[in-house]
Amino acid sequence: MRPSPKISIALTSTLWLAVTITLAATRIPFDDEWFSITLARLPNSHDFWQSLRSDLHPPLVALIDRALLSLLQTTHWFPLQLLRISASLAALLLLFSILRRHLQNSAPTLLLFIGAFHPIVLFYGGAIRWYPYLFLAQALRWWAIFGPTNTNATPHSHHKRQAALCTGAALGPAVGYIDMPLLALDLIFFWRIHRARHGMRLAFLAGLFGVASLLTSASLLGHLSLKCSQRSTGPRQPDNLVWFRLSG
């Protein structure tokens, strides 16, 4: 007797969590992870923001890491890994939901198992960098695009679709520059598939994308300027100033 999809996904998720947490708890962080760990451990805000000047990514992830270690009153990096593993698991569950809507029989579970236990996913799913958050952002947008079908959709499912799309659109560019062109492609797919119902809301989403792009582009220009001048005494990047003011 073949297990139900709920049992299959529960077993796959439990096994994936066990393997990923074991790997995270037993391996030594790689060099980029040590940079994130060091940022989160810095004892004062001045050193933290000065160190961000040499980071080639938006400051949101570093702020989350610093806040988490401060909240838990610890300097160990394992809580940083657990948060990222949670984000990666949520992304995998969203992708499984998409597969179940478009495939039949045991194919969704099999594809999820193959993808989830790929060595790259196992390793980077808990990496102390921004990759798991980008994984989650893209999974949210793909669920909004390819999730509930228009024929079976309800008003509640439309609201969930909009929330997933807006959350993925805000999170992606805020954690990594590489998501900006990917987000643009996702917006095009979303508009082509759902334009009849979501045309006006897409305008709002485009505005949200513009704000996120503005924040990250300001930092990108600062990084390019810093690289060109090869000076470590240049001005703090504009978006870091924004995040510094917001964080108090």
pLDDT attached to residue 230: 43
> Hey, what are 89's tokens?
């698991």
Distance from C-alpha of 73 to C-alpha of 138, rounded to nearest angstrom: 31
pLDDT attached to residue 115: 83
Cβ(216)–Cβ(239) below 8 Å = yes
Crossing angle for the helix pair 107-116 and 5-26, to the nearest 10 degrees:
0
Distance from C-alpha of 39 to C-alpha of 52, rounded to nearest angstrom: 8
Distance from C-alpha of 147 to C-alpha of 165, rounded to nearest angstrom: 11
pLDDT attached to residue 132: 95
Instruction: Give per-residue pLDDT as tens, 109-136.
Output: 777 788 889 899 998 999 999 999 999 9
pLDDT attached to residue 233: 46
Cβ(179)–Cβ(173) below 8 Å = yes
> For 113-122, b where at least 16 C-beta lie within 10 A, e where not — what string?
beebeeeebb
pLDDT attached to residue 112: 76
Nearest residue to 49 (alpha-carbon basis) of 225, 219, 193: 219
pLDDT attached to residue 23: 92
Q: Which H helix or E strand runs over 226?
A: helix 179-229
pLDDT attached to residue 192: 76
Tokens 């669920």 -> residue: 143
Tokens 């610093």 -> residue: 66
pLDDT attached to residue 130: 93
Half-sphere exposure for 38 (CA within 13 Å, toward CB): 14
| Residue numbers of the chain with a pLDDT score lower than 70 | 1-5, 104-108, 148-157, 195-248
Nearest residue to 57 (alpha-carbon basis) of 202, 166, 220: 220
The whole model's pTM is what?
A: 0.81
